[in-house]
Structure 1
Amino acid sequence: MLEDDFPRPILTVDCVPLTLYDGVLCVLRAVREVDPFAGRQALLGGYVRVDEDADLDVTARRVLVDKAGLTEHYAEQLATFSGADRDPRGWSASVAYFSLSPYSALEPVLEREDLELVPVDTAGGMPFDHDAILAAAVGRLRGKGAYSDLPARLLPAGFTLSELHHTYQIALGEQINIDAFRRKVLERGFLQDTGETRQEGGARRPTRIYRLKGAVSVFDRRV
């Protein structure tokens, strides 16, 4: 049997853009324009273009730009979801990614009628297996986030330790002792003092502003 005689699976990339809005972890979704499931809200996805995409990371970046104009983000490959029943068009495989962005990076596109930002806890009922993909992305953020600086990727470039603490609590879905948190994050060495300060409500003195040093830092102990 020739190679061309074998059925070819559908190969796509699905992206889970996460951000914080009003103190809640949210996901950006888009209205599907074509069947199957036209008119339904779903994750951002697209076909792999073998003549354009050097690898799947390129595909994911293209999907985020083409579908939502999203360029300011941290993205990470999540998992592969595959099977004969996940897509009514036939046997398919989707390589899922999740991205983390400050709300300011998504705000300009939220005026579009085909995009919506919804809390991850109320985003169920999506077509395909997008509910499972979203759950996996949130699980990765909460699992890996406890041992890395991933939650800080949800913040703008400059932030205070109080803002960082609040973000970690939302991202991990748990309460964290603020005094221990401040000590641990400064010990981990992934923050850089910008030399700038900001007056926070209730604080007697101006609060220092920090930024991330660079690439994702992974720790040997929980934050």
Structure 2
Amino acid sequence: MSSAVSPAVICTVDTVLLTLQGGTLHVLLVRRDKAPYAGAWALPGGYIHAQDDVDAQASAARVLREKAGLQSPYLEQLATFSGLARDPRGWSLAVAYCALVPGEALQGIPPRQGVKLVPVDALPPLPFDHRAMVDAALARVRSKSLYSSLPVHLCGDAFTLPQLQVVYEAVLGEPLNKVSFRRKMDELDMLEPVPGLVQGGAHRPAQMYRLRPAFRKALALSSRAL
């Protein structure tokens, strides 16, 4: 029996943070300050701290706070990326997450050097397998958008139906018929009007809506379970 000690496995977390800017989906990138790929733009990621993090999701949340100064209301595990070829430092395993943050939530956060938002269709070359992680996040979010309230996490606390439709169109990457969209929202029965809250002028004010509490709770539980 061989007594050789196996090399340590590199264990990290990486997060695809999606947000809307100007009606377009953007991804948050950070500039790497260490090798490998020092100076390259990449997804916010870092090592799992076994002594501090209760699980991989806690690691992902911590890394987002440390690297970008952000706390995402929605954080869902995507997949595990592993193998010898993905990292020049050796055999590695990365647990990838998807975060959804409303654009308005980013406006009050002071800008950080080495952090930027990039449209999903204009990404620079990314190190490791970060492009595959972005593609996995986009596929997951677009798939869930066909039958769930997931895109609401890209909205603020309250929104009009036209504003929500813009969000769904940005996520799906295609225009939606107004009548069909509103029929789908009625079928899902996930929204409730915010009493006394409207937007617009006195002649044709638009009712503001929010996600029903049961749907907010269901989304929070599903994001923790995956």
TM, length-normalised to structure 1 = 0.90
Aligned partners of 1:136 and 1:196: how far apart in 2? 40
What corresponds to 1:148 in structure 2? 148
Does the 8 Å CA contact 2:68/2:112 hold for their aligned counterparts? no
What residue number does 2:90 align with?
90
Give the residue type in structure 1 aligned to 2:65: V
Structure-2 change in CA distance of 1:156 and 1:117 (3 Å): same
Tell me the distance in 2 between the aligned counterparts of 1:113 and 1:46.
18
Cα distance, 1:186 vs structure 2:
2.4
Is 2:91 the counterpart of 1:114?
no
- Structure-to-structure mapping, 1:155-170, within 5 angstroms: 155-170=155-170
Aligned 8 A contact 1:19 1:101 in 2: yes
- How many Å apart are 1:11 and its aligned residue? 0.5
Alignment of 1:32-111 (within 5 A): 32-109=32-109, 111=111
Query: 1:199 & 1:71 partners in 2: Cα distance?
Result: 28
Displacement of 1:71: 1.5
* Counterpart contact for 1:110–1:117, Cα < 8 Å: no
| Structure 1 counterpart of 2:131 | 131
CA distance, structure 1, for counterparts of residue 76 and residue 3 of structure 2: 33
The answer to whether the 8 Å contact 1:160/1:209 transfers is: yes
SS of the equivalent of 2:132 reads helix
Match of 1:212 in 2: 211
Contact kept? 1:102, 1:154, Cα under 8 Å: yes
Report the Cα offset of residue 2 of structure 1. 8.9
Q: Is the 1:87–1:128 Cα contact (8 Å) retained in structure 2?
A: yes
Other-structure match for 2:222: none
Residue identity matched to 2:207:
R
Q: Which ranges in structure 2 are unaligned for 5 or more consecutive residues?
A: 220-226
The alignment covers a number of residue pairs equal to: 216
Mapped partners of 2:31, 2:188: distance in 1: 41
Give matches, 1:1-20, under 5 Å.
5-20=5-20
Residue 224 of structure 2 is matched in structure 1 by none
**C-alpha displacement at 1:212, in angstroms?**
1.3
Q: What secondary structure sits across from 2:18 in the alignment?
A: strand
What is the TM-score with the length of structure 2 in the denominator? 0.89
Distance 2:45 2:167 in 1: 27
Counterpart CA distance in 2 for 1:115 and 1:76 is 22
Residue aligning to 1:192: 192
Shift of 1:109: 4.0
- Structure 1 residues 197 and 205 mapped into 2: Cα distance closer, same or farther (>3 Å)? farther
Residue 215 of structure 1: SS of its match in structure 2? helix
CA deviations over 1:66-88 (Å, ceiling 9, x no partner)? 11111242110001111101111
Alpha-carbon distance between aligned partners in 2 of 1:160 and 1:92, rounded to the nearest angstrom: 45
List gaps (5 residues or longer) in structure 1. 218-223
Asked if 2 retains the 8 angstrom alpha-carbon contact of 1:24 and 1:119, the reply is yes
Q: Check conservation: 2:41, 2:124, Cα contact below 8 A.
A: no
AA aligned opposite 1:29: L
The amino acid that maps onto 2:139 is G
